[in-house]
Structure 1
Amino acid sequence: MRQGITDGVKHLLIINVVMFIGTLAIGNGQTFYQWFALYFPESEAFQPWQILTHMFMHGNLMHILFNMFALWMFGTAVEQIFGTKKFIIFYLLSGFGAAIIQVAFLYYQYNTGLTTLVEAGFSQTDIVSVLSEGKYDTNWVPVLGDNFEGFASAFNSTMVGASGAIFGILVAFGMLFPESKLMLIFLPIPVKAKYFIPAIIALDLFSALTGNSIFSPSNTAYMAHVGGALTGFLLMYFWKKNERDKYRWN
Protein backbone atom coordinates (compact mmCIF):
# COMPACT_ATOMS: atom_id res chain seq x y z
CA MET A 1 0.00 0.00 0.00
CA ARG A 2 1.13 3.57 -0.71
CA GLN A 3 2.32 5.13 2.55
CA GLY A 4 1.58 8.79 1.85
CA ILE A 5 -0.88 10.77 3.97
CA THR A 6 -4.45 10.17 2.86
CA ASP A 7 -7.02 12.96 3.15
CA GLY A 8 -8.87 11.64 6.20
CA VAL A 9 -5.67 10.92 8.10
CA LYS A 10 -4.27 14.33 7.14
CA HIS A 11 -7.30 16.20 8.46
CA LEU A 12 -7.35 14.20 11.69
CA LEU A 13 -3.64 14.93 12.20
CA ILE A 14 -4.25 18.65 11.69
CA ILE A 15 -7.15 18.75 14.18
CA ASN A 16 -5.15 16.90 16.83
CA VAL A 17 -2.11 19.15 16.39
CA VAL A 18 -4.23 22.33 16.51
CA MET A 19 -5.92 21.13 19.71
CA PHE A 20 -2.55 20.30 21.26
CA ILE A 21 -1.15 23.73 20.39
CA GLY A 22 -4.31 25.33 21.81
CA THR A 23 -3.85 23.36 25.03
CA LEU A 24 -0.34 24.75 25.41
CA ALA A 25 -1.09 28.30 24.27
CA ILE A 26 -4.45 29.18 25.83
CA GLY A 27 -4.96 29.82 29.52
CA ASN A 28 -2.70 28.20 32.07
CA GLY A 29 -2.42 24.85 30.30
CA GLN A 30 -5.61 23.61 31.94
CA THR A 31 -8.26 25.63 30.09
CA PHE A 32 -8.60 23.22 27.16
CA TYR A 33 -8.70 20.28 29.56
CA GLN A 34 -11.55 21.88 31.48
CA TRP A 35 -13.46 22.46 28.25
CA PHE A 36 -12.66 19.43 26.13
CA ALA A 37 -11.39 16.48 28.24
CA LEU A 38 -14.00 13.83 29.03
CA TYR A 39 -15.06 14.03 32.68
CA PHE A 40 -17.03 11.44 34.63
CA PRO A 41 -20.74 12.17 33.90
CA GLU A 42 -21.51 12.58 37.63
CA SER A 43 -18.98 15.42 37.85
CA GLU A 44 -20.08 19.04 37.51
CA ALA A 45 -17.29 19.49 34.94
CA PHE A 46 -18.91 17.04 32.49
CA GLN A 47 -20.34 18.44 29.25
CA PRO A 48 -21.95 16.40 26.42
CA TRP A 49 -19.55 17.65 23.74
CA GLN A 50 -16.62 16.13 25.64
CA ILE A 51 -17.65 12.71 24.29
CA LEU A 52 -16.34 13.95 20.93
CA THR A 53 -13.67 16.49 21.84
CA HIS A 54 -11.71 14.28 24.24
CA MET A 55 -10.41 12.15 21.37
CA PHE A 56 -8.59 15.18 19.91
CA MET A 57 -6.88 16.05 23.21
CA HIS A 58 -3.53 14.71 24.45
CA GLY A 59 -1.68 14.78 27.74
CA ASN A 60 1.85 15.54 26.57
CA LEU A 61 4.17 15.56 23.56
CA MET A 62 5.00 11.84 23.66
CA HIS A 63 1.29 10.99 23.95
CA ILE A 64 0.36 12.85 20.77
CA LEU A 65 3.49 11.73 18.89
CA PHE A 66 2.82 8.03 19.47
CA ASN A 67 -0.88 8.34 18.64
CA MET A 68 -0.34 10.39 15.50
CA PHE A 69 2.39 8.04 14.30
CA ALA A 70 0.00 5.10 14.74
CA LEU A 71 -2.78 7.03 13.00
CA TRP A 72 -0.54 7.67 9.99
CA MET A 73 0.99 4.19 9.92
CA PHE A 74 -2.21 2.15 10.18
CA GLY A 75 -4.86 4.67 9.24
CA THR A 76 -3.37 5.36 5.81
CA ALA A 77 -3.66 1.72 4.76
CA VAL A 78 -7.18 1.37 6.19
CA GLU A 79 -8.40 4.58 4.55
CA GLN A 80 -7.11 3.42 1.17
CA ILE A 81 -9.46 0.44 1.47
CA PHE A 82 -12.42 2.22 3.09
CA GLY A 83 -12.34 5.57 1.36
CA THR A 84 -12.26 8.85 3.31
CA LYS A 85 -15.91 9.12 4.35
CA LYS A 86 -16.18 5.56 5.64
CA PHE A 87 -12.78 5.85 7.35
CA ILE A 88 -13.79 9.00 9.27
CA ILE A 89 -17.06 7.39 10.34
CA PHE A 90 -15.19 4.27 11.49
CA TYR A 91 -12.64 6.37 13.38
CA LEU A 92 -15.25 8.46 15.21
CA LEU A 93 -17.47 5.50 16.07
CA SER A 94 -14.46 3.64 17.48
CA GLY A 95 -13.67 6.70 19.60
CA PHE A 96 -17.27 6.90 20.84
CA GLY A 97 -17.25 3.18 21.66
CA ALA A 98 -14.00 3.61 23.58
CA ALA A 99 -15.52 6.43 25.65
CA ILE A 100 -18.69 4.47 26.40
CA ILE A 101 -16.81 1.38 27.58
CA GLN A 102 -14.38 3.42 29.69
CA VAL A 103 -17.19 5.41 31.33
CA ALA A 104 -19.18 2.22 31.96
CA PHE A 105 -16.11 0.73 33.67
CA LEU A 106 -15.73 3.85 35.81
CA TYR A 107 -19.41 3.67 36.76
CA TYR A 108 -18.89 0.07 37.84
CA GLN A 109 -15.96 1.05 40.06
CA TYR A 110 -17.80 4.07 41.44
CA ASN A 111 -21.15 2.39 42.12
CA THR A 112 -19.52 -0.69 43.65
CA GLY A 113 -17.53 1.46 46.10
CA LEU A 114 -20.45 3.77 46.81
CA THR A 115 -22.76 0.86 47.64
CA THR A 116 -20.14 -0.66 49.95
CA LEU A 117 -19.64 2.61 51.83
CA VAL A 118 -23.37 3.31 52.20
CA GLU A 119 -23.92 -0.22 53.51
CA ALA A 120 -21.12 0.44 56.01
CA GLY A 121 -23.01 3.46 57.36
CA PHE A 122 -21.52 6.39 55.43
CA SER A 123 -23.84 9.05 54.05
CA GLN A 124 -24.10 9.07 50.24
CA THR A 125 -24.53 12.85 50.24
CA ASP A 126 -21.35 13.29 52.28
CA ILE A 127 -19.43 10.88 50.07
CA VAL A 128 -20.37 12.72 46.87
CA SER A 129 -19.63 16.07 48.50
CA VAL A 130 -16.12 14.98 49.48
CA LEU A 131 -15.42 13.49 46.04
CA SER A 132 -16.66 16.68 44.35
CA GLU A 133 -13.91 18.57 46.16
CA GLY A 134 -11.32 16.18 44.74
CA LYS A 135 -10.72 14.63 48.16
CA TYR A 136 -11.44 11.39 49.98
CA ASP A 137 -12.02 10.24 53.54
CA THR A 138 -9.26 8.05 55.01
CA ASN A 139 -11.98 6.10 56.83
CA TRP A 140 -13.04 4.70 53.45
CA VAL A 141 -9.76 2.87 52.95
CA PRO A 142 -10.27 -0.08 55.35
CA VAL A 143 -13.89 -0.49 54.18
CA LEU A 144 -13.09 -0.60 50.47
CA GLY A 145 -9.73 -2.37 50.67
CA ASP A 146 -8.32 -3.10 47.21
CA ASN A 147 -11.28 -1.34 45.58
CA PHE A 148 -10.47 2.01 47.19
CA GLU A 149 -8.12 3.34 44.49
CA GLY A 150 -10.54 2.62 41.65
CA PHE A 151 -13.46 4.16 43.54
CA ALA A 152 -11.57 7.28 44.65
CA SER A 153 -10.22 8.02 41.17
CA ALA A 154 -13.37 7.24 39.13
CA PHE A 155 -15.38 10.31 40.11
CA ASN A 156 -12.66 12.84 39.30
CA SER A 157 -11.16 11.02 36.34
CA THR A 158 -10.55 12.72 33.00
CA MET A 159 -10.04 11.01 29.66
CA VAL A 160 -8.06 12.41 26.74
CA GLY A 161 -6.46 10.95 23.65
CA ALA A 162 -7.08 9.34 20.29
CA SER A 163 -6.00 5.90 21.50
CA GLY A 164 -9.50 4.41 21.60
CA ALA A 165 -10.21 5.41 18.00
CA ILE A 166 -6.75 4.22 16.94
CA PHE A 167 -7.31 0.81 18.55
CA GLY A 168 -10.38 0.51 16.33
CA ILE A 169 -8.15 1.31 13.34
CA LEU A 170 -5.64 -1.30 14.55
CA VAL A 171 -8.36 -3.95 14.55
CA ALA A 172 -9.45 -2.94 11.05
CA PHE A 173 -5.83 -3.13 9.89
CA GLY A 174 -5.42 -6.57 11.43
CA MET A 175 -8.59 -7.86 9.73
CA LEU A 176 -7.71 -6.31 6.36
CA PHE A 177 -4.01 -7.18 6.40
CA PRO A 178 -3.70 -10.20 8.74
CA GLU A 179 -0.38 -11.38 7.28
CA SER A 180 1.41 -8.03 7.70
CA LYS A 181 4.26 -8.23 10.18
CA LEU A 182 4.47 -5.77 13.08
CA MET A 183 6.84 -5.32 16.00
CA LEU A 184 7.31 -3.25 19.16
CA ILE A 185 10.12 -0.68 19.16
CA PHE A 186 11.72 -2.20 22.26
CA LEU A 187 11.07 -5.80 21.13
CA PRO A 188 12.10 -5.98 17.45
CA ILE A 189 10.60 -9.38 16.72
CA PRO A 190 8.23 -9.37 13.69
CA VAL A 191 4.81 -10.88 14.45
CA LYS A 192 1.87 -11.19 12.05
CA ALA A 193 -0.88 -8.64 12.61
CA LYS A 194 -3.48 -11.34 13.21
CA TYR A 195 -1.52 -12.41 16.31
CA PHE A 196 0.14 -9.13 17.32
CA ILE A 197 -2.98 -6.95 17.59
CA PRO A 198 -5.11 -9.40 19.66
CA ALA A 199 -2.13 -9.84 22.00
CA ILE A 200 -1.87 -6.07 22.57
CA ILE A 201 -5.61 -5.86 23.26
CA ALA A 202 -5.42 -8.80 25.68
CA LEU A 203 -2.59 -7.07 27.57
CA ASP A 204 -4.68 -3.90 27.88
CA LEU A 205 -7.65 -5.90 29.17
CA PHE A 206 -5.38 -7.59 31.72
CA SER A 207 -4.01 -4.21 32.83
CA ALA A 208 -7.52 -2.76 33.19
CA LEU A 209 -8.86 -5.65 35.26
CA THR A 210 -5.82 -6.14 37.49
CA GLY A 211 -4.49 -2.57 37.76
CA ASN A 212 -1.05 -3.82 36.76
CA SER A 213 0.49 -1.69 34.02
CA ILE A 214 2.86 -3.59 31.73
CA PHE A 215 3.95 -1.29 28.90
CA SER A 216 1.91 1.92 29.37
CA PRO A 217 1.75 4.54 32.15
CA SER A 218 -0.46 3.58 35.08
CA ASN A 219 -2.94 6.36 34.29
CA THR A 220 -3.70 4.90 30.86
CA ALA A 221 -7.42 4.32 30.17
CA TYR A 222 -6.99 0.66 29.24
CA MET A 223 -10.70 -0.04 28.98
CA ALA A 224 -10.93 2.74 26.39
CA HIS A 225 -8.41 0.80 24.29
CA VAL A 226 -10.47 -2.34 24.71
CA GLY A 227 -13.68 -0.43 23.92
CA GLY A 228 -12.22 1.06 20.75
CA ALA A 229 -10.96 -2.34 19.65
CA LEU A 230 -14.31 -4.00 20.37
CA THR A 231 -16.21 -1.28 18.50
CA GLY A 232 -13.83 -1.59 15.55
CA PHE A 233 -14.29 -5.36 15.46
CA LEU A 234 -18.09 -5.12 15.58
CA LEU A 235 -18.12 -2.51 12.81
CA MET A 236 -15.86 -4.67 10.64
CA TYR A 237 -17.97 -7.75 11.32
CA PHE A 238 -21.31 -6.15 10.47
CA TRP A 239 -19.98 -4.19 7.49
CA LYS A 240 -18.49 -7.35 6.02
CA LYS A 241 -21.70 -9.26 6.73
CA ASN A 242 -23.79 -6.57 4.99
CA GLU A 243 -21.47 -6.65 1.99
CA ARG A 244 -21.80 -10.45 1.75
CA ASP A 245 -25.60 -10.24 2.08
CA LYS A 246 -25.78 -7.53 -0.57
CA TYR A 247 -23.63 -9.58 -2.96
CA ARG A 248 -25.76 -12.68 -2.30
CA TRP A 249 -29.05 -10.91 -3.11
CA ASN A 250 -27.64 -9.07 -6.13
Structure 2
Amino acid sequence: MFNITPTVRNLLIANVLFLVAQQSLLPLLTQVGSLYPIGSPYFYPWQFFTYMFLHGGWGHLFSNMLGLIVFGPLLEQRWGASRFLMFWLICGVGAGLLYEGVRGYELHRMEVARQEFHQSPTGPEYEQFFRKSFPDASGYEPLARAMAQDPKNPEYIAAAEHNVDKAVSDTWNSPHGGMLGASGALFGLIFAFAYLFPNTQLLLFPFPFPIAAKYLAFGYTMLELYQGVHRVPGDNVAHFAHLGGLLIGFIVVRYWEGGRERFY
Protein backbone atom coordinates (compact mmCIF):
# COMPACT_ATOMS: atom_id res chain seq x y z
CA MET A 1 0.00 0.00 0.00
CA PHE A 2 1.10 3.56 -0.66
CA ASN A 3 1.97 5.67 2.36
CA ILE A 4 0.15 8.85 1.34
CA THR A 5 1.40 11.84 3.33
CA PRO A 6 -0.83 14.85 4.16
CA THR A 7 0.33 17.27 1.45
CA VAL A 8 0.31 14.56 -1.21
CA ARG A 9 -3.24 13.69 -0.15
CA ASN A 10 -4.34 17.34 -0.29
CA LEU A 11 -2.85 17.78 -3.76
CA LEU A 12 -4.69 14.66 -4.93
CA ILE A 13 -7.98 15.98 -3.58
CA ALA A 14 -7.42 19.43 -5.08
CA ASN A 15 -6.65 18.05 -8.54
CA VAL A 16 -9.67 15.73 -8.50
CA LEU A 17 -11.97 18.58 -7.44
CA PHE A 18 -10.59 20.84 -10.16
CA LEU A 19 -11.25 18.21 -12.82
CA VAL A 20 -14.80 17.69 -11.56
CA ALA A 21 -15.31 21.45 -11.76
CA GLN A 22 -13.85 21.53 -15.28
CA GLN A 23 -16.16 18.82 -16.55
CA SER A 24 -19.44 19.63 -14.84
CA LEU A 25 -19.56 22.81 -12.79
CA LEU A 26 -17.32 25.41 -14.44
CA PRO A 27 -16.46 24.36 -18.01
CA LEU A 28 -14.90 27.76 -18.71
CA LEU A 29 -12.34 27.01 -15.98
CA THR A 30 -10.26 25.10 -18.53
CA GLN A 31 -10.00 28.13 -20.79
CA VAL A 32 -9.42 30.64 -18.00
CA GLY A 33 -6.93 28.50 -16.12
CA SER A 34 -4.87 26.81 -18.86
CA LEU A 35 -1.56 28.39 -19.82
CA TYR A 36 -1.79 30.26 -23.14
CA PRO A 37 1.06 31.92 -25.05
CA ILE A 38 1.90 35.42 -23.89
CA GLY A 39 0.22 37.70 -26.43
CA SER A 40 -2.80 35.45 -26.85
CA PRO A 41 -6.14 37.10 -26.00
CA TYR A 42 -6.71 34.19 -23.62
CA PHE A 43 -3.52 34.68 -21.61
CA TYR A 44 -3.68 35.81 -17.98
CA PRO A 45 -0.73 35.95 -15.55
CA TRP A 46 -2.39 33.63 -13.01
CA GLN A 47 -2.26 30.81 -15.55
CA PHE A 48 1.36 30.10 -14.59
CA PHE A 49 -0.11 28.79 -11.33
CA THR A 50 -3.55 27.48 -12.25
CA TYR A 51 -2.58 25.36 -15.27
CA MET A 52 -0.92 22.72 -13.05
CA PHE A 53 -4.21 21.99 -11.28
CA LEU A 54 -6.15 21.36 -14.50
CA HIS A 55 -6.19 18.22 -16.65
CA GLY A 56 -7.51 17.05 -19.99
CA GLY A 57 -9.41 14.07 -18.59
CA TRP A 58 -9.36 11.28 -16.04
CA GLY A 59 -6.59 9.38 -17.81
CA HIS A 60 -4.37 12.47 -17.84
CA LEU A 61 -5.13 13.10 -14.16
CA PHE A 62 -4.53 9.46 -13.19
CA SER A 63 -1.06 9.30 -14.73
CA ASN A 64 0.09 12.51 -13.01
CA MET A 65 -1.44 11.66 -9.64
CA LEU A 66 0.02 8.16 -9.72
CA GLY A 67 3.45 9.75 -10.11
CA LEU A 68 2.69 12.09 -7.21
CA ILE A 69 1.75 9.10 -5.02
CA VAL A 70 4.88 7.17 -5.99
CA PHE A 71 7.48 9.94 -5.66
CA GLY A 72 5.87 12.44 -3.30
CA PRO A 73 5.62 10.80 0.14
CA LEU A 74 9.32 10.14 0.71
CA LEU A 75 10.15 13.70 -0.36
CA GLU A 76 7.49 15.14 1.94
CA GLN A 77 8.83 13.05 4.82
CA ARG A 78 12.34 14.37 4.16
CA TRP A 79 11.46 18.02 3.65
CA GLY A 80 8.26 18.50 5.61
CA ALA A 81 4.86 19.59 4.31
CA SER A 82 5.60 23.27 3.68
CA ARG A 83 8.85 22.75 1.80
CA PHE A 84 7.40 19.87 -0.22
CA LEU A 85 4.42 21.98 -1.31
CA MET A 86 6.77 24.85 -2.14
CA PHE A 87 8.87 22.53 -4.28
CA TRP A 88 5.80 21.26 -6.17
CA LEU A 89 4.62 24.80 -6.90
CA ILE A 90 8.08 26.12 -7.84
CA CYS A 91 8.60 23.27 -10.31
CA GLY A 92 5.15 23.76 -11.80
CA VAL A 93 5.49 27.52 -12.23
CA GLY A 94 9.08 27.19 -13.47
CA ALA A 95 8.05 24.57 -16.01
CA GLY A 96 5.35 26.93 -17.27
CA LEU A 97 7.81 29.81 -17.61
CA LEU A 98 10.32 27.73 -19.56
CA TYR A 99 7.56 26.31 -21.76
CA GLU A 100 6.38 29.84 -22.51
CA GLY A 101 9.91 30.73 -23.59
CA VAL A 102 10.11 27.80 -26.00
CA ARG A 103 6.57 28.42 -27.26
CA GLY A 104 7.34 32.11 -27.76
CA TYR A 105 10.40 31.19 -29.83
CA GLU A 106 8.33 28.81 -31.96
CA LEU A 107 5.68 31.45 -32.53
CA HIS A 108 8.33 33.99 -33.45
CA ARG A 109 9.74 31.60 -36.05
CA MET A 110 6.23 31.08 -37.39
CA GLU A 111 5.72 34.82 -37.76
CA VAL A 112 9.09 35.19 -39.52
CA ALA A 113 8.09 32.38 -41.90
CA ARG A 114 4.81 34.14 -42.60
CA GLN A 115 6.59 37.39 -43.48
CA GLU A 116 9.08 35.56 -45.67
CA PHE A 117 6.26 33.91 -47.57
CA HIS A 118 4.64 37.27 -48.23
CA GLN A 119 7.94 38.42 -49.72
CA SER A 120 8.17 35.36 -51.96
CA PRO A 121 4.69 33.80 -52.41
CA THR A 122 5.52 30.73 -54.49
CA GLY A 123 4.13 27.21 -54.49
CA PRO A 124 7.22 25.60 -52.94
CA GLU A 125 7.40 28.30 -50.24
CA TYR A 126 3.71 27.82 -49.49
CA GLU A 127 4.18 24.10 -49.04
CA GLN A 128 7.35 24.61 -47.00
CA PHE A 129 5.56 26.98 -44.65
CA PHE A 130 2.95 24.38 -43.69
CA ARG A 131 5.42 21.50 -43.55
CA LYS A 132 7.61 23.35 -41.04
CA SER A 133 5.10 25.35 -39.03
CA PHE A 134 2.03 23.09 -39.19
CA PRO A 135 3.14 19.49 -39.78
CA ASP A 136 -0.35 18.20 -38.88
CA ALA A 137 -2.03 20.36 -41.54
CA SER A 138 -3.46 18.93 -44.72
CA GLY A 139 -5.32 20.22 -47.75
CA TYR A 140 -2.77 22.84 -48.76
CA GLU A 141 -1.08 20.63 -51.36
CA PRO A 142 -3.45 21.27 -54.31
CA LEU A 143 -2.98 25.03 -54.06
CA ALA A 144 0.79 24.58 -53.74
CA ARG A 145 0.83 22.52 -56.94
CA ALA A 146 -1.39 25.04 -58.73
CA MET A 147 0.94 27.89 -57.73
CA ALA A 148 3.94 25.93 -58.96
CA GLN A 149 2.28 25.50 -62.36
CA ASP A 150 1.01 29.07 -62.58
CA PRO A 151 3.22 31.16 -60.23
CA LYS A 152 1.90 34.56 -61.39
CA ASN A 153 -1.79 33.81 -60.89
CA PRO A 154 -3.04 36.58 -58.54
CA GLU A 155 -5.96 34.50 -57.26
CA TYR A 156 -3.65 31.67 -56.21
CA ILE A 157 -1.29 34.10 -54.50
CA ALA A 158 -4.11 35.88 -52.67
CA ALA A 159 -5.62 32.58 -51.50
CA ALA A 160 -2.23 31.32 -50.28
CA GLU A 161 -1.48 34.55 -48.40
CA HIS A 162 -4.92 34.40 -46.79
CA ASN A 163 -4.39 30.79 -45.69
CA VAL A 164 -0.96 31.53 -44.24
CA ASP A 165 -2.21 34.58 -42.35
CA LYS A 166 -5.21 32.66 -41.04
CA ALA A 167 -3.07 29.75 -39.84
CA VAL A 168 -0.83 32.09 -37.84
CA SER A 169 -3.75 34.12 -36.51
CA ASP A 170 -5.65 30.99 -35.44
CA THR A 171 -2.58 29.77 -33.55
CA TRP A 172 -2.45 32.94 -31.48
CA ASN A 173 -6.20 33.31 -31.05
CA SER A 174 -7.37 29.71 -30.66
CA PRO A 175 -9.25 29.00 -27.41
CA HIS A 176 -7.87 25.46 -27.59
CA GLY A 177 -4.20 26.47 -27.51
CA GLY A 178 -3.66 26.35 -23.75
CA MET A 179 -1.40 23.95 -21.87
CA LEU A 180 -2.62 22.19 -18.75
CA GLY A 181 -1.55 19.43 -16.38
CA ALA A 182 0.72 18.77 -13.41
CA SER A 183 3.41 17.04 -15.47
CA GLY A 184 5.95 19.85 -15.09
CA ALA A 185 5.72 19.70 -11.30
CA LEU A 186 5.77 15.90 -11.41
CA PHE A 187 8.98 15.80 -13.43
CA GLY A 188 10.56 18.01 -10.79
CA LEU A 189 9.58 15.37 -8.22
CA ILE A 190 11.05 12.63 -10.38
CA PHE A 191 14.42 14.38 -10.46
CA ALA A 192 14.37 15.12 -6.72
CA PHE A 193 13.52 11.51 -5.93
CA ALA A 194 16.27 10.20 -8.21
CA TYR A 195 18.80 12.61 -6.69
CA LEU A 196 17.98 11.84 -3.07
CA PHE A 197 17.12 8.16 -3.43
CA PRO A 198 19.09 7.18 -6.54
CA ASN A 199 19.26 3.42 -6.00
CA THR A 200 15.67 2.90 -4.90
CA GLN A 201 14.22 0.14 -7.07
CA LEU A 202 10.99 0.98 -8.92
CA LEU A 203 8.72 -1.15 -11.06
CA LEU A 204 7.85 0.58 -14.33
CA PHE A 205 5.14 -0.86 -16.55
CA PRO A 206 5.55 -2.75 -18.88
CA PHE A 207 9.05 -3.83 -17.77
CA PRO A 208 8.93 -6.97 -15.56
CA PHE A 209 12.03 -6.00 -13.59
CA PRO A 210 12.82 -3.14 -11.16
CA ILE A 211 14.72 -0.04 -12.30
CA ALA A 212 16.84 2.21 -10.09
CA ALA A 213 15.37 5.69 -9.69
CA LYS A 214 18.48 7.36 -11.15
CA TYR A 215 18.19 5.37 -14.39
CA LEU A 216 14.46 6.06 -14.59
CA ALA A 217 15.05 9.82 -14.32
CA PHE A 218 17.84 9.70 -16.91
CA GLY A 219 15.69 7.69 -19.31
CA TYR A 220 12.76 10.07 -18.93
CA THR A 221 15.03 13.06 -19.56
CA MET A 222 16.50 11.59 -22.74
CA LEU A 223 13.08 10.54 -24.01
CA GLU A 224 11.52 13.95 -23.40
CA LEU A 225 14.46 15.73 -25.01
CA TYR A 226 14.30 13.52 -28.10
CA GLN A 227 10.52 13.86 -28.45
CA GLY A 228 10.67 17.61 -27.88
CA VAL A 229 13.26 18.11 -30.62
CA HIS A 230 11.88 15.51 -33.04
CA ARG A 231 8.20 16.34 -32.94
CA VAL A 232 5.89 14.02 -34.86
CA PRO A 233 2.45 14.88 -36.28
CA GLY A 234 -0.29 14.51 -33.70
CA ASP A 235 2.02 14.89 -30.69
CA ASN A 236 0.37 17.46 -28.41
CA VAL A 237 2.49 16.72 -25.34
CA ALA A 238 4.35 19.71 -23.85
CA HIS A 239 7.75 17.98 -23.72
CA PHE A 240 9.62 21.17 -22.93
CA ALA A 241 7.38 21.79 -19.93
CA HIS A 242 8.46 18.37 -18.65
CA LEU A 243 12.09 19.26 -19.25
CA GLY A 244 11.49 22.61 -17.57
CA GLY A 245 10.20 20.83 -14.47
CA LEU A 246 13.29 18.63 -14.43
CA LEU A 247 15.59 21.63 -14.76
CA ILE A 248 13.87 23.63 -12.05
CA GLY A 249 13.85 20.56 -9.82
CA PHE A 250 17.59 20.17 -10.38
CA ILE A 251 18.29 23.81 -9.45
CA VAL A 252 16.11 23.78 -6.33
CA VAL A 253 17.33 20.42 -5.03
CA ARG A 254 20.96 21.32 -5.54
CA TYR A 255 20.38 24.56 -3.62
CA TRP A 256 18.41 22.94 -0.78
CA GLU A 257 20.50 19.80 -0.46
CA GLY A 258 23.98 21.28 -0.84
CA GLY A 259 26.26 19.58 1.67
CA ARG A 260 23.62 17.09 2.83
CA GLU A 261 23.98 13.37 2.25
CA ARG A 262 21.75 11.51 -0.14
CA PHE A 263 20.05 8.22 0.70
CA TYR A 264 21.05 5.07 -1.19
- Residue 81 (str. 1) matches residue 78 (str. 2): yes
Counterpart amino acid of residue 73 in structure 1: V
Rounded to whole Å, the distance in 2 between the matches of 1:71 and 1:63 is: 13
- Residue 240 (str. 1) matches residue 237 (str. 2): no
- Residue 177 (str. 1) matches residue 197 (str. 2): yes
Q: Which of the pair has more CA radius of gyration? A: 2
Shift of residue 143 of structure 1? Answer: 4.1
Unaligned runs of 5+ in 1: 123-137, 245-250
Structure 1 residues 46-57: aligned runs within 5 Å: 46-57=43-54
Encode CA deviations 1:151-181: one digit per residue, 9 max, x unaligned: 9586342111001001001111001110011
Aligned partner of residue 92 in structure 1, secondary structure: helix
Counterpart amino acid of residue 61 in structure 1: W
Counterpart amino acid of residue 129 in structure 2: L
Shift of residue 10 of structure 1? Answer: 1.3
Matching residue of 2:228:
208
Counterpart amino acid of residue 186 in structure 2: I
Matching residue of 1:93:
90
Aligned partner of residue 191 in structure 1, secondary structure: strand
Shift of residue 238 of structure 1? Answer: 1.4
Rounded to whole Å, the distance in 1 between the matches of 2:252 and 2:92 is: 12
Matching residue of 1:13:
12
Structure 1 residues 1-250: aligned runs within 5 Å: 3-27=2-26, 29=27, 31-121=28-118, 141-149=126-134, 155=172, 156=174, 157-212=177-232, 218-241=235-258
Counterpart amino acid of residue 10 in structure 1: R
Label 1:149 to 1:44 Cα distance change in 2 as closer, same or farther (>3 A).
Answer: same
Conserved? CA contact 1:38–1:50, under 8 Å: yes
Shift of residue 117 of structure 1? Answer: 1.8
Shift of residue 198 of structure 1? Answer: 1.2
Rounded to whole Å, the distance in 1 between the matches of 2:13 and 2:41 is: 30
Conserved? CA contact 1:40–1:154, under 8 Å: no
Rounded to whole Å, the distance in 2 between the matches of 1:22 and 1:107 is: 30
Rounded to whole Å, the distance in 2 between the matches of 1:141 and 1:223 is: 28
Rounded to whole Å, the distance in 2 between the matches of 1:189 and 1:200 is: 17
Aligned-residue sequence identity (percent) comes to 32
Moved runs in structure 1, 4+ residues, more than 4 A? 138-141, 150-154
Encode CA deviations 1:8-35: one digit per residue, 9 max, x unaligned: 11111111011011011125x4x11112
TM-score w.r.t. structure 1 length?
A: 0.81
Rounded to whole Å, the distance in 2 between the matches of 1:75 and 1:60 is: 22
What is the number of residues matched between the two proteins? 222
Aligned partner of residue 175 in structure 1, secondary structure: helix
Rounded to whole Å, the distance in 1 between the matches of 2:93 and 2:218 is: 20
Aligned partner of residue 38 in structure 1, secondary structure: coil
Aligned partner of residue 39 in structure 1, secondary structure: coil
Rounded to whole Å, the distance in 2 between the matches of 1:84 and 1:166 is: 16
Aligned partner of residue 173 in structure 1, secondary structure: helix
Encode CA deviations 1:209-238: one digit per residue, 9 max, x unaligned: 11048xxx8211111100001100111111
Unaligned runs of 5+ in 2: 136-166
Matching residue of 1:130:
none
Conserved? CA contact 1:140–1:148, under 8 Å: no
Rounded to whole Å, the distance in 2 between the matches of 1:146 and 1:229 is: 30
Label 1:188 to 1:141 Cα distance change in 2 as closer, same or farther (>3 A).
Answer: farther
Label 1:141 to 1:183 Cα distance change in 2 as closer, same or farther (>3 A).
Answer: farther
CA RMSD of aligned residues (A): 2.3
